[in-house]
Amino acid sequence: MPEPTKKEENEVPTPAPAPPPEEPNKEKEAGTAPPKDEEEVFPPNALPPGLCSRALERKDSEWSLGESPATEEQEKQNANSQLSTLFVEKPQTGKVKVGGNITFIAKVKAEDLLRKPSVKWFKGKWMDLASKAGKHLQLKETFERQSRVYTFEMQIIKAKENYAGNYRCEVTYKDKFDSCSFDLEVHESTGTTPNIDIRSAFKRREVKQQEEEPEIDVWELLKNANPNEYEKIAFQYGITDLRGMLKRLKRMRRVEKKSRAFAKILDPAYQIDKGGRVRFVVELADPKLEVKWFKNGQEIRPSTKYIFEHKGSERIMFINNCALTDDSEYYVTAGDEKCSTELFVREPPIMVTKLLEDTNAYCGERVELECEVSEDDANVKWFKNGEEIIPGPKSRYKVKVEGKKHTLIIEGATKADSAEYSVMTTGGQSSAKLSVDLRPLKILTPLTDQTVKLGKEICLKCEISENISGKWTKNGLPVQEGDRLKVVHKGRIHKLVIDSALIEDEGDYVFTPDAYSVTLPAKVHVIDPPKIILDGLDADNTVTVIAGNKLRLEIPISGEPPPKAIWSRADKAITEGSGRIRAESYPDSSSLIIDTAERDDSGVYKINLKNEAGEAYANIKIKVVDIPDPPVAPNVTDVGDDWCIMNWEPPVYDGGSPILGYFIERKKKQSSRWMRLNFDLCKETTFEPKKMIEGVAYEVRIFAVNAIGISKPSMPSKPFVPLAVTSPPTLLAVDSVTDTTVTMKWRPPDQIGAAGLDGYVLEYCFEGTENWIVANTDLIDKTKFTITGLPTDAKIFVRVKAVNAAGASEPKYYSQPILVKEVIEPPKIRIPRHLKQTYIRRVGEAVNLVIPYQGKPRPELTWKKDGAEIDKNQINIRNSETDTIIFIRKAERSHSGKYDLQVKVEKFEENASIDIQIVDRPGPPQVVKIEDVWGENVALSWTPPKDDGNAAITGYTIQKADKKSMEWFTVIEHYHRTNATITELVIGNEYYFRVFAENMCGLSEDATRTKESAVIAKDGKVYKNPVYEDFDFTEAPMFTQPLVNTYAIAGYNATLNCSVRGNPKPKITWMKNKVAIVDDPRYRMFSNQGVCTLEIRKPSPYDGGTYCCKAVNDLGTVEIECKLEVKGGLSFCRLLLQGVPPNIIDSYLRDLQSSNPEEY
């Protein structure tokens, strides 16, 4: 509901009640606000009950009751309230800077108060600040016993701009009430503070800083605005405390205006009880004016609830059956003017119809305090000694409501519950006293004295007439509960239980009930028969002593009284004295002493204890031990390359202690230095010495070890020499297979050893059998062998062994069965890298080209040159199982051309081409002409030679000769054009010129000379500038260096290179398998001075394929392709760098993969 506003222009002033005399303003303590200026104060006590809180916010308004006048009882309450001034010191208006702290203090005299009064702090109209306490707001209260004054403080910390406004402090005590309003002004400081709503600040939320707006004088707006615009202005400019601003506005002088439309306006406020009827009346100056009624800005239409009447110039509105929702602001408009009022609807007070009664109870009983009120399910508050009781799940207090009946229930009452209890409603209260006392205590079962054995349970039990707690003491000290001692309280029975009684548990025990002076005593006596403690001995009570050492065996004993100990051996008592074997006794132990133990001292010794509580005995076995005898000489049963296996028998006498293990030593036969082989004891009677040198004789010996020590060494073993078989052969693979034979190949063993390698044995067995057949009757030295006489379509397993003087090695198996049937392998040609581009040789040089291939059975090879059969008289062709060779002893230019190779295996075929270019020196230029002579210059031109030597002309060399001497001198070398200008000639001389052609083989053998001579005239001539035609530099794209088929290694970057020229500069596009490569991070493309490069980062077999480079400009398009094949592994790279042909590498890798598929 919006805050009510007041129309001071239209109100008719009525005398207000005189304010009570105030005490002089006292000086505030540090941090409090300064005293407020003189201000008109209207105590809320002058208003009817129920309107006090709202009157505080409307204290400048006048009040008029509706058709429900106040009763006599209300008038009495009003009269009493006018005299109920509780404040001794009221909070005063204060000022503070943004970010500063301020404290407001209210003091209440407590001389006539039986309990602490209730104080509430408010901001604005309804906001209770008690729930907003936090880092920005703190509430504090103290009580001075000497002056009997309650001090209540409200401290605002780090004030902000929107904290400014009107505040209110209310104090209540029973039927007394007092209130005081005060203002807080917050001024801007030098720092920038965000404009935060105080409600949000109290909610502990962060509020974003509002955007800065132009400064507007809100006071001027309020002074010059109509009251009906106050709410609009407050909303527009974020005024949260409009009432405080209006209170300040009241002090300012205003010019009262007389209403032209209304002869009589509405009263400032009306009050009506809930369910009553209220009547609003205005009188118009002009009865013809149209009147409209509004509620909170919304027009009211006639209905059964709202009734309108016209009586002359009076306009009347009735509101029937008023509810709490009708509590609002109302105004009526006539023409351009309006007048407003406030309607307050109050609920009828709830009365206490049945008062509380004083109650007496005993501790532990259930107490119920009952009362009845005038309304069902009314809001009722309970108090204990003036403090409100808040029931809840964890509270001892429960409230039961049955219609008008309210009951306060206390379960298990205690003395602390004795107090004055009161119940309060909105219209009354009642109080009663509760007294809780103790019942007389009776001892039903007293404690009894007990005697228990050590380790048994002690249980002290008593029973009293009341279910109350108590305390246990032992020898006057409180008993502390633990894992062994438990205190049990169940109803009226109390127990003290001690598990496993100890000697220290003996004493005087007393149980004392709480709140009573009665004690229940009992004595506990603990007895302990004699015991022999053998915890330090073995399970069979055996004590071991080394021969020659002294034994002192101390056995702990216990018993009450201390028992007497007697030692004996074979029914012969051992006395206490100074003999070699003697006994000693002490209160808590008994000792047996043997000086210089001997083997005969071994035996069973008996200790016997006796006291008044009983008797105990124990047998103790004493064992005298020594080092064992040496073992017998060990035997060497097996010998390897650097190891042997030896065993031995345990020694005959173990020294009276079990053999723990053995130490082993060895030495070379020619040496006297023994070396220990194991630092950890060997538990078995076998051992395997290692790391010996092959071919060297060794001896070994043994030491036996028991708990006492190490025996003497055994006799040495017989000498032995380590020799070992080789490791298995490696890389067993199938070389070839026919219908009746299988050829296998392998690599020598990795480790051969000192015994060397005598040869190999190749064995095979048919699939489904385990009968291995030796393929070679005699040892073979080679690492390749053909197994013959095999049935066609059979499957065999193959293994190979290496044999030397030590025997045969472990076999190397071929991983899968081999089918005895010739396998067709499609042909494949491996063109070397240097033959993938044009192969160039000079005339007269030899041509020797090796082209590897593969295929099974042996392929058929066909060579052609430029589509025709090769003349074998000029070109020699030699074929083998793995490659073909083209050999030209002396190359001629006629040997240039395209050579096609076809490899065919049955229906499979593979083709490849090689371009061979045989070059020679070019012929001379055709014609050399003197185009012009001027000054010291001669312009020459010539035509290219007819014969370029089967290679591109790379340049020309120009020479000159004086006609007189005819000695030739070079003028220009490596000149690329077919015209040139010769300068700096001697005037008066006559010159001849000649030109040589040049290609990659060198200069032409002959030169072409000018037919005429050029005379350099002495007299000057007029120079005629030659006319040059513009040269057309445009050119379609053309690859000057093609792409070549390339091998790449998996995991290593690969590059494809080519060069292109063209004008305008062509656009380069790279493609893989006819698909353009765009934005792929695995590829990088470069182009520099016409050289195009494609880099493939760490390729995999997936990156293999056909790559294409495409060049495009306005004059045309050109493409060039190459194949990229990616090989995997470092082995291929290393073999390729070593110069091994690729077809051999590929065959080797396939065999390797088939022999060891798990590693690849």
Token pair listed for 961: 């000769």
pLDDT tier, 32 (very low <50, low <70, confident <90, very high otherwise): very low
- Cα–Cα distance measured from residue 283 to residue 262, given in angstroms and rounded to the nearest whole number: 6
Q: Are 1143 and 883 in contact (CB under 8 A)?
A: yes
- Cα–Cα distance measured from residue 938 to residue 984, given in angstroms and rounded to the nearest whole number: 9
- Cα–Cα distance measured from residue 311 to residue 816, given in angstroms and rounded to the nearest whole number: 123
pLDDT of residue 125: 64
pLDDT tens-place string over residues 627-656? 888 999 999 998 887 889 999 999 988 888
pLDDT of residue 8: 35
pLDDT tier, 271 (very low <50, low <70, confident <90, very high otherwise): confident
pLDDT tens-place string over residues 532-579? 888 888 888 888 888 888 888 898 988 877 888 888 988 888 888 778
The alpha-helical segments, DSSP class H, found in 549-689 are none
- The amino acid at 1138: Q
Which CB contacts under 8 angstroms, 24+ apart, belong to 970-974?
Answer: 974/998
Give, for 74, the enclosing helix (H) or strand (E): helix 72-82
> Which of 10, 75, 87, 107 is closest to 43 using CA atoms?
87
Q: Using the predicted structure, report yes or no on whether residue 329 has a pLDDT greater than 80.
A: yes
- 10 Å Cβ neighbour count for 141? 12
> Which of 182, 160, 161, 145 is closest to 28 using CA atoms?
182
Q: Which residue has the higher pLDDT, 357 or 1152?
A: 357
Q: First and final CA of the chain: distance in angstroms?
A: 86
Q: What's the Cα-to-Cα distance from 59 to each of 180, 246, 886, rounded to whole Å? A: 11, 11, 125
Q: Using the predicted structure, report yes or no on whether residue 1160 has a pLDDT greater than 70.
A: no
pLDDT of residue 1023: 62
Q: Using the predicted structure, report yes or no on whether residue 92 has a pLDDT greater than 80.
A: yes
Query: Buried b vs exposed e over 964-996: b needs ≥16 C-beta within 10 Å?
Result: eeeeeeebbeeeeeeebebeebeeeeebbbbbb
Q: What's the Cα-to-Cα distance from 160 to each of 137, 186, 198, rounded to whole Å? A: 12, 7, 8
The verdict on whether omega for the bond into residue 1142 sits within 30 degrees of 0, i.e. cis, is no
pLDDT of residue 250: 57
- Cα–Cα distance measured from residue 916 to residue 926, given in angstroms and rounded to the nearest whole number: 28
Query: Buried b vs exposed e over 463-497: b needs ≥16 C-beta within 10 Å?
Result: ebebebebebbbeeeebeeeeebebeeeeeebbbe
- Cα–Cα distance measured from residue 239 to residue 162, given in angstroms and rounded to the nearest whole number: 8
Q: Are 317 and 293 in contact (CB under 8 A)?
A: yes
3-state SS of 23-71 is CCCCCCCCCECCCCCCCCCCCHHHCCCCCHHHHHHCCCCCCCCCCCCCC
Tell me the sheet residues that pair with 373. 352
pLDDT tens-place string over residues 583-638? 888 888 999 899 888 878 888 999 998 877 788 889 999 888 888 889 999 999 98
- Cα–Cα distance measured from residue 103 to residue 123, given in angstroms and rounded to the nearest whole number: 15
Q: What are the φ and ψ backbone dihedral angles of 833, each rounded to 5 degrees?
A: -60, -40
DSSP label at 894?
Answer: G
pLDDT tier, 174 (very low <50, low <70, confident <90, very high otherwise): confident
- Cα–Cα distance measured from residue 564 to residue 1015, given in angstroms and rounded to the nearest whole number: 155
Q: What are the φ and ψ backbone dihedral angles of 299, each rounded to 5 degrees?
A: -70, 140
Q: Which residue has the higher pLDDT, 42 or 821?
A: 821
Give, for 73, the enclosing helix (H) or strand (E): helix 72-82
Interacting residues of 1099 by C-beta distance below 8 A, sequence separation 6+:
1048, 1050, 1051, 1052, 1053, 1054, 1082, 1124, 1126
**Average model confidence (pLDDT) across the chain:** 81
User: Rounded to the nearest 5 degrees, what angle is found at the Cα of 237, between the Cα atoms of 236 and 240?
Assistant: 105
- Cα–Cα distance measured from residue 554 to residue 569, given in angstroms and rounded to the nearest whole number: 16
Prediction pTM value: 0.30
**What is the rounded (10 degree) CA torsion for 728, 729, 735, 739?**
-40
Give, for 585, the enclosing helix (H) or strand (E): strand 581-585
Q: Using the predicted structure, report yes or no on whether residue 365 has a pLDDT greater than 90.
A: no
Q: What is the mean pLDDT of residues 749-769?
A: 88
- Cα–Cα distance measured from residue 246 to residue 1054, given in angstroms and rounded to the nearest whole number: 88
Q: What is the mean pLDDT of residues 413-425?
A: 88
Q: What is the mean pLDDT of residues 517-530?
A: 87
pLDDT tens-place string over residues 1041-1069? 999 999 888 888 999 999 999 999 999 99
> Which of 184, 183, 185, 181 is closest to 87 using CA atoms?
181
- Cα–Cα distance measured from residue 240 to residue 184, given in angstroms and rounded to the nearest whole number: 13
pLDDT tier, 1149 (very low <50, low <70, confident <90, very high otherwise): low
Q: What is the mean pLDDT of residues 1069-1097?
A: 91
Burial level of 300, CB count in 10 A (0-12/13-18/19+)? middle
pLDDT tens-place string over residues 428-439? 889 999 998 888
Interacting residues of 925 by C-beta distance below 8 A, sequence separation 6+:
942, 943, 944, 945, 956, 978, 995, 997, 1007, 1008
- Cα–Cα distance measured from residue 866 to residue 886, given in angstroms and rounded to the nearest whole number: 15
- Listed in order, strand segments (DSSP E) in 188-312 are 262-264, 269-273, 278-284, 291-295, 298-299, 306-311
pLDDT of residue 599: 76
- With the C-alpha atoms ordered 871, 877, 881, 883, is the resulting torsion angle positive or negative? negative
Interacting residues of 235 by C-beta distance below 8 A, sequence separation 6+:
none
Q: Using the predicted structure, report yes or no on whether residue 281 has a pLDDT greater than 80.
A: yes
Within the chain, what is the greatest distance between any pair of CA atoms?
165
3-state SS of 700-755 is EEEEEEECCCECCCCCCCCCECCCCCCCCCEEEEEEEECCCCEEEEEECCCCCCCC
Q: What is the mean pLDDT of residues 155-168?
A: 87
- 10 Å Cβ neighbour count for 297? 12
